[in-house]
Amino acid sequence: MKTNLSLLFFLKKPKNYKDGAPRFIYLRITVDGQRAELSAGREIEPDRWNAKAGKAVGTKEETKTLNTFLNKFKSDVSAVHTQMVAEGAEITAERVKLRYLGKDEPAPSHTILEAIKDHNIKIEALVGQDYAKGTLKRFQVLERHIGGYIQHQYKKDDLDVKKIDRAFIANFDFYLRNEKKNANNTAIKYLKNFGKIVRICVDNKWLESDPFVGYKLKSKPVQRDFLTSDELRRISLKMFVTERLTQVRDFFLFSCFTGLSYVDVKKLKPSDIIVGVDGSRWINIYRQKTGTRVPVPLLSVAEAILDKYKDHPVCIANDICLPISSNQKMNEYLVEVAELSGVKKTLGNRVAKRTFATTVTLCNGVPIESVSKMLGHTNLRTTQIYAQLLDEKLAIDMAPLKELFKNIPVQANAATEQNALAEQTLKAFLQILYPNASEQQVTSQIHLLKESLLQAV
């Protein structure tokens, strides 16, 4: 913390002072306009003192010795101030004085792993209330990665939080990618989590500024699988010889037709099924991850699955809707379900949620705002990640447009004003039809439409 320091010696009158008698020499410490006084433990006659220069006058050896002492005294106080600045301590005139006298405790140092552990203890106490277990697990893994990085880079067990700077972050980024073999998006997630720890340190005044400011954390787009209507049909119609695989398939289908996460399905109770505003059965719960209310009208497939297991012994004994294994076991069994159903995709809850968002809802004309509410998202942009445009949906939506423009003559390789106007009209229509589509998607669809029109003529 930068502060303005001023040091000046002056003479102070003792009680019952007599003119001409020696006065005590004091050092006035001024920090940002605030003052504190510190005795030098020396005295001098007023006529031998230069008040403006703050030192003794004369050529005698005694005078030179006193001034040397005063210069050293001032230098020591100044060094205390410099040390406090380096520590990032709160600096006042009184604290500089106390630190010099040995009565001010230095600001306690805090370590990086201490900050993460403290954060994780608080998160663990709130699991099930404000946080999910997955959140705690991610920060516990971050703690291990940071510990490993400090050992690898600095050969130490821990470091003071003040060692966190841009170089520390950049080298940790490299460590995650090179030593831990993390993919870009995985490394970015750990860095973002670490950024939260750093911001807490800044808020606690353990760090003067946030070194993450200006550091670019850019995730790369990834292919997010979901099931097509044909793949969903194959899984639905497949007959399994074991009850184990049948139950797992039913759980997966229930997620596909409700959009609920594993944990929300696992804790779903019969009392969570209500009669909705339309007179049919709805799911009415609060998502564990975000705490937002999730109203989901039950489709016939989901209703049939609930009715199938309403008298199951496990469901009755535990007051739940579906008999569900652990998430790890579910994922293992879903590998078998996919293979036996002839689906070449890795099934899981995320695939189920994306299937609900695309194939089940958006592809059938459900507005994205309604889909977002059923998924329990607090931000529409989160839903847009799930809401990928399907080719069959594009074909259905573009059919009226093709009919509208089928009589417009188009000449290949002719850059006429008519063609330019037609292309602008097409682009504007597509942007209205698909407000969330990217520029590349719109351009690609215009190109395909041109080719089909050329073939028609």
- Does any domain span residue 78? yes
More confident of the two residues 1 and 342: 342
**Closest to 193 (Cα-Cα) out of 174, 217, 214:** 217
277 lies in the same domain as 409: no
341 lies in the same domain as 451: no
The percentage of the chain sitting over the pLDDT mark of 70, rounded to a whole number, equals 81
What's the whole-number mean pLDDT along residues 330-346?
Answer: 89
- Does any domain span residue 217? no
234 lies in the same domain as 381: yes
Domain membership of residue 451 as a residue range = 391-456
pLDDT for residue 6 is more than 70? yes
- Does any domain span residue 304? yes
- Band (pLDDT 50/70/90 cuts) for residue 283 is confident
The model's pLDDT over 71-94, given as tens digits with 9 standing for 90+, comes to: 999 999 999 999 888 877 778 899
146-150, 196-200, 238-242: lowest mean pLDDT where?
Answer: 238-242
182 lies in the same domain as 323: no
Q: Which of 325, 353, 386 is the C-terminal boundary of a domain?
A: 386
The model's pLDDT over 441-456, given as tens digits with 9 standing for 90+, comes to: 667 766 666 665 555 4
Q: Which of 58, 77, 100 is the C-terminal boundary of a domain?
A: 100
pLDDT for residue 118 is more than 90? yes
413 lies in the same domain as 433: yes
236 lies in the same domain as 372: yes
- Band (pLDDT 50/70/90 cuts) for residue 106 is low
The model's pLDDT over 379-421, given as tens digits with 9 standing for 90+, comes to: 777 676 665 555 555 666 666 666 666 665 544 444 445 566 5
100-104, 307-311, 370-374: lowest mean pLDDT where?
Answer: 370-374
291-305, 308-322, 372-386: lowest mean pLDDT where?
Answer: 372-386
**CATH assignment of the domain containing 304:** 1.10.443.10
380 lies in the same domain as 236: yes
pTM: 0.53
314 lies in the same domain as 331: yes
The percentage of the chain sitting over the pLDDT mark of 90, rounded to a whole number, equals 33
Here the tokens at position 394 are 């594009």
Mean pLDDT of the residues in the chain = 83
What's the whole-number mean pLDDT along residues 228-239?
Answer: 88
- Does any domain span residue 222? no
